[in-house]
């Protein structure tokens, strides 16, 4: 195998004959260093030696990238590896593998850094929107609306109050913060500020914030930047204070004044809704979401959405039936509203407060539900009957397992409650002829 000393001219002039697959030129100065050429005109420095009785050939690189001296240095390095009992090919593979592993490690670290920075940049608002989207199927409309309202930025024009704008919700101040910065100390400062003007709203906001942070602590995208206990510190709880149980309820002697003002409301849908709310003891959203298909006029029953059981059947009493039968059938909703996007009545509280103010009463919509249960005691109605009509969870073993009251039995008691309330209110009502169990109530 002839050898010549490599020079730039000899290396550049070396070519492979067209009738061969490859040709070699060997350096006379550095043992094992060669130049390989192919018919396509490509050439490369190579090293060839013998390791453990086997010929080893390794590509060094193109003459365009390697000088002759650099190629000689690399060839000597490979020869030293052979002298040390190592296979240059295996060393090269190990080196390349180590370099690739290092490259992947650096890439992974860079990606992890980007992900960490992205997680740390997440704002409370971004996580809050994801929370609402994920939990919305599990909430009622009222609960979802409360979450939106408590976090609203405010400043939007009010539809029903020209010139007025909406107020920012209690949670609005926290929305622009990074989730990472929502610490117990920060929540305590926020709570102290909100407690000065709206402690009741603050308590609701605190409950929602706690649930939100617990949810974040279970999500891969948020758990590393979430302090699940940020809204649970003793100081924050003390600042918010305890919710005082509400006791607003209609007294027997107040029924006449309440009915008189509610019946005079200009909106007949709201008037009927408020009266039905008292006479059924239902939750405001249960009755507000009543559809025509939920009423059985033949068998005198209504199917109400129930937060405990999903749905429950309640009697369709005579006066309630007369109120509902007189309502316009604009769409699927019993208590409809042409001005509402949803097509149903949304906010009857304003009209109710006005009616109560005229009557000299202070009463919330939930106070009507409370009034139904309280006033029923005048008739000594079984507590289990009232609870079943109102959708309260049974509180005794007998009620849970040994009382299955059909709709007819509930109607007997419910009609008594309705008739008594109308009598106390001084309302004369003559039931339909197909209701023989009802009696005429006169003042």
443 residues of the chain, pLDDT tens digit each: 579 999 999 999 999 998 899 999 999 999 999 999 999 889 999 999 998 888 999 999 999 999 999 999 999 999 999 998 888 888 888 888 998 999 998 888 888 877 777 778 899 999 999 999 999 999 888 789 899 999 998 887 766 666 677 889 999 999 999 999 999 999 999 999 999 998 889 999 999 999 999 999 999 989 888 999 998 888 888 887 776 666 789 999 999 999 999 999 999 999 999 999 999 999 998 999 999 999 999 889 999 987 666 788 999 999 999 999 999 999 999 999 998 888 999 889 999 999 999 999 999 999 999 999 999 999 999 888 998 899 887 665 545 544 667 888 899 999 999 999 999 999 999 876 554 444 433 33
pLDDT at 161: 61
For the chain, report the end-to-end CA distance as a whole number of angstroms: 130
CA 327/CA 268 separation, integer angstroms: 8
Q: Phi-psi category of 431—alpha, beta or left, where left has phi over 0 and alpha has psi -120 to 50?
A: beta
Assign 3-class secondary structure to 28-51: CCCCCEEEEECCCCCEEEEEEEEE
Pseudo-torsion of CA 316, 296, 431, 262, nearest 10°?
50
Sole residue written with tokens 């109102």: 390
What lies within 8 Å, CB to CB, of 162 at 6+ separation is none
Phi, psi (deg, nearest 5) at residue 423: -65, -45
pLDDT at 263: 95
Query: Under a CB-based contact definition with an 8 Å cutoff, are residues 223 and 179 in contact?
Result: no
CA 381/CA 377 separation, integer angstroms: 6
The pTM (predicted TM-score) of the whole model is: 0.58
* Among the listed residues 417, 251, 250, the one whose alpha carbon sits nearest the alpha carbon of residue 320: 417
CA 242/CA 345 separation, integer angstroms: 32
Sole residue written with tokens 């709709």: 407
Phi, psi (deg, nearest 5) at residue 90: -70, -35
What lies within 8 Å, CB to CB, of 198 at 6+ separation is 170
| Cα 101 to Cα 81, 167, 216, distances in angstroms | 23, 56, 34
CA 313/CA 307 separation, integer angstroms: 13
User: E strands within 233-342?
Assistant: 295-296, 301-306, 310-315
Rg of the chain over Cα atoms, rounded to whole angstroms, equals 41
pLDDT at 325: 94
* Among the listed residues 413, 411, 414, 443, the one whose alpha carbon sits nearest the alpha carbon of residue 428: 443
pLDDT at 440: 39
pLDDT at 160: 60
**SS3 of 259, please?**
helix
pLDDT at 341: 86
pLDDT at 51: 86
CA 199/CA 201 separation, integer angstroms: 6
Q: The tokens of 378 are what?
A: 């005048």
Laid out side by side, the sheet with 301-306 consists of: 295-296, 301-306, 310-315
């Amino acid at each position: 195998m002839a050898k010549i000393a490599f020079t730039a001219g000899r290396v550049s002039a070396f070519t492979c004959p067209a009738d061969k697959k490859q040709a070699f030129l060997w350096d006379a100065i550095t043992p094992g260093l060669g130049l390989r050429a192919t018919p396509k005109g490509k050439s490369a420095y190579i090293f060839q030696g013998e390791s453990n009785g086997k010929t080893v050939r390794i590509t060094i690189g193109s003459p365009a990238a390697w000088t002759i001296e650099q190629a000689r240095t690399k060839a000597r390095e490979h020869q030293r590896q052979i002298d040390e009992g190592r296979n240059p090919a295996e060393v090269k593979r190990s080196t390349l593998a180590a370099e690739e592993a290092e490259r992947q490690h650096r890439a992974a670290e860079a990606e992890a850094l980007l992900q960490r920075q992205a997680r740390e940049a997440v704002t409370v608002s971004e996580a809050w929107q994801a929370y609402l989207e994920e939990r919305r199927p599990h909430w009622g409309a009222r609960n979802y609306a409360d979450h939106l309202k408590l976090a609203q930025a405010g400043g939007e024009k009010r539809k029903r109050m020209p010139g007025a704008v909406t107020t920012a919700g209690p949670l609005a101040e926290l929305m622009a913060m990074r989730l990472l910065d929502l610490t117990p100390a920060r929540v305590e400062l926020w709570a102290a500020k909100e407690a000065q003007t709206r402690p009741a709203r603050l308590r609701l906001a605190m409950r929602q914030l706690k649930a939100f942070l617990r949810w974040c602590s279970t999500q891969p995208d948020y758990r590393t930047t979430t302090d699940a206990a940020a809204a649970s510190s003793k100081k924050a709880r003390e600042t918010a204070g305890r919710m005082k149980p509400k006791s607003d309820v209609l007294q027997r002697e107040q029924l006449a004044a309440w009915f008189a003002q509610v019946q005079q409301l200009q909106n007949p849908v709201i008037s009927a809704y408020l009266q039905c709310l008292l006479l059924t003891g239902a939750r405001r959203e249960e009755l507000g979401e009543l559809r025509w298909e939920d009423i059985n006029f033949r068998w005198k029953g209504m199917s109400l959405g129930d937060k405990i059981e999903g749905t429950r059947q309640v009697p369709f009493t005579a006066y309630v039936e007369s109120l509902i039968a007189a309502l316009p059938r604009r769409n699927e909703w019993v208590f409809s509203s042409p001005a509402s996007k949803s097509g149903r009545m949304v906010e009857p509280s304003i009209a109710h407060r006005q009616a109560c103010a005229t009557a000299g009463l202070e009463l919330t919509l939930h106070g009507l539900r409370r009034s139904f249960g309280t006033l029923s005691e005048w008739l000594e109605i079984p507590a289990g009957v009232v609870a079943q009509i109102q959708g309260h969870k049974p509180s005794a073993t007998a009620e849970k397992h040994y009382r299955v009251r059909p709709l007819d039995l509930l109607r007997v008691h419910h009609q008594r409650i309705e008739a008594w309330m109308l009598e106390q209110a001084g309302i004369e009502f003559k039931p339909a002829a197909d209701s023989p169990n009802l009696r005429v109530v006169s003042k």
